[in-house]
Amino acid sequence: MVALPTAFIEKYQKLLGSEADDFIASFQHPITKAFRINPLKTSQTLYDTKNDGKTAWGTWGRFGSVSGHSVDHTTGLIYSQEPSAQLVGEIARPLPGERVLDLAAAPGGKTTHLASFMQQQGLLVSNEIFRKRANILSENVERFGIRNAIVTNHSPSELAHHFPKYFDRIVLDAPCSGEGMFRKDPDAMQYWDINYPDRCAKLQREILIEAMKMLRPGGELIYSTCTFAPEEDEQVIAWLLSNYPNLSMVAIERPQGVDAGRPEWADGNPELAKAVRLFPHHLSGEGHFIAKLKLAEIEDETDNVLLSEAESNLSQPQQTLWQQFRDDIGLTTIFGPLMAWGDQLYALPDHTPDLKGIKVLRAGVHLGTFKKNRFEPALALALAVSPDDFARQYPMRDDEWAKYVHGETFFVTDQTNGWYLLTINSNGAGFGKLTNGQMKNFYPKGLRFQVK
């Protein structure tokens, strides 16, 4: 039983009137679990995850539970995300080649969805202010195999300093009072009081001020929350429209069960009805609010601010070691600028701006580590590149995969010594190095687990 705060019940009885009983009752209903299939993977066929049917919107959403120790999860084929949250990415729908910012991105649901549309083209800056959450975000970006993302760890104001009028599309899934998650995460209620939405709205307005500094003329802003509170939803958008006259609402097509925004819960501006609300008594999912806005073009102004671009910095010995590995494993992928941070090698997205002064946790693809007289590939490379681009690969059986993710070696006959991309379900799972019939294990120690 979800024991809702009395003040919360009374608030929504007043706001929802005759709908209130059904709304309150919905908090006692079971939550609906779902996931998305990753279109960046070579094989998009589920291997060991049950598909309970397609979600109401989007191409990749499916109902069902995700096991963190499944082949599908560890190879990045699926990402667990409840159905309502999936609508944010569907509404944002960036185009390949765009410059996109996910401003409050952890744990990574929106970022991975945006990357699905971008198809490894363009630049996706995925930012999170809190370092621990940013680390989780970075791990999810790696597992999903995203090659065109930069994960940053900044406050919105710090980020705005580096990217003035830069982004074609900004997604702000704003920190909020979390009312829409009370059923899924009852612990969220301990932070709630009747004034909490007002305090959250103040923070949301502060973040939006910085977001607007980074949106180019003609760009789009997608604002979302997982709360029902008008203070954080329609009232924030009403404030945004009144303070930025060059900003206008974009109508959102409403799938069945999705409600229009409520102008009467703010200043009465009929444009607010172009936003959407997701109520748990109207659909299979949690509570959400989403608005889409467009900044007007400005004549005689440069459409996109051009920042200086990052350049490769590899030494000649590093270039030689990297090329020797490529030749050994038969890697044909062409990467963007190569950047070494100490002994760590990354392939940056094309047209990555100069990263000086930016706190970067992940830039493009972590290719691997320079060791003494050799190069050791990273798991991220196996997850981000199609197996078709590796001449030397080895498809693992289920028992071999179980040994691999547990950190064990296994034996292979009639194969040449050297590095191998190890695959399962036709997707990359990691690297091994074959020496006289023994496949040495390079699965990261911190990720290892025992298959049950």
Phi-psi sector, 161: left (phi>0), alpha (psi -120 to 50), beta? alpha
226 is catalytic: yes
Answer whether residue 415 is part of any domain: no
pLDDT band at 300 (very low <50, low <70, confident <90, very high): low
Answer whether residue 262 is part of any domain: yes
Answer whether residue 343 is part of any domain: no
What is the mean predicted confidence (pLDDT) over 155-160? 98
What is the mean predicted confidence (pLDDT) over 327-331? 97
Q: Answer whether 0.95 is exceeded by the pTM.
A: yes
Answer whether residue 199 is part of any domain: yes
User: Looking at the predicted structure, is the pLDDT value of residue 343 above 70?
Assistant: yes
Question: What's the domain count of the chain?
Answer: 1
**pLDDT digit string (tens) for 166-198?**
999 999 999 999 999 999 999 889 989 999 999
What integer pLDDT is reported at residue 2 of this predicted model? 84
Answer whether residue 197 is part of any domain: yes
Report yes or no: 169 and 92 within 8 Å, Cβ to Cβ. Answer: yes
Annotated binding site: 104-110, 128, 173
Q: Are strands 393-395 and 418-424 parallel, antiparallel or unpaired?
A: parallel
Pick the catalytic residue from 226, 237, 276, 429: 226
Q: The CATH number of the domain where 158 resides is what?
A: 3.40.50.150
**pLDDT digit string (tens) for 379-432?**
999 999 999 999 999 999 999 999 999 999 999 998 999 999 999 999 999 999
Report yes or no: 284 and 26 within 8 Å, Cβ to Cβ. Answer: no
Average pLDDT along the chain: 96
Domain holding 273, by residue range, is: 83-295
User: Looking at the predicted structure, is the pLDDT value of residue 355 above 60?
Assistant: yes
Answer whether residue 317 is part of any domain: no
What integer pLDDT is reported at residue 298 of this predicted model? 81
Identify the residue whose tokens are 């992928």: 333
**pLDDT digit string (tens) for 218-227?**
999 999 999 9
Give the 3-state DSSP-derived string for the chain, with helices as H, strands as E and coil as C: CCCCCHHHHHHHHHHHHHHHHHHHHHCCCCCCCEEEECCCCCCCCCCCCCCCCECCCCCCEEECCCCCCCHHHHCCCEEECCHHHHHHHHHHCCCCCCEEEECCCCCCHHHHHHHHHHCCCCEEEEECCCHHHHHHHHHHHHHHCCCCEEEECCCHHHHHHHCCCCEEEEEEECCCCCHHHCCCCHHHHHHCCCCHHHHHHHHHHHHHHHHHHHEEEEEEEEEEECCCCCCCCHHHHHHHHHHCCCEEECCCCCCCCCEECCHHHCCCCHHHHHCEEECCCCCCCCCEEEEEEEECCCCCCCCCCCCCECCCCCCHHHHHHHHHHHHHHCECCCCCCEEEECCEEEECCCCCECCCCCCEEEECEEEEEEECCEEEECHHHHHHCCHHHECCEEECCHHHHHHHHCCCCEECCCCCCEEEEEEECCEEEEEEEEECCEEEECCCHHHCCCCC
Annotated binding site for S-adenosyl-L-methionine: 104-110, 128, 173
Q: How many CB atoms lie within 10 A of CB 14?
A: 9
User: Looking at the predicted structure, is the pLDDT value of residue 21 above 80?
Assistant: yes
Answer whether residue 103 is part of any domain: yes
User: Looking at the predicted structure, is the pLDDT value of residue 436 above 90?
Assistant: yes
What integer pLDDT is reported at residue 306 of this predicted model? 67
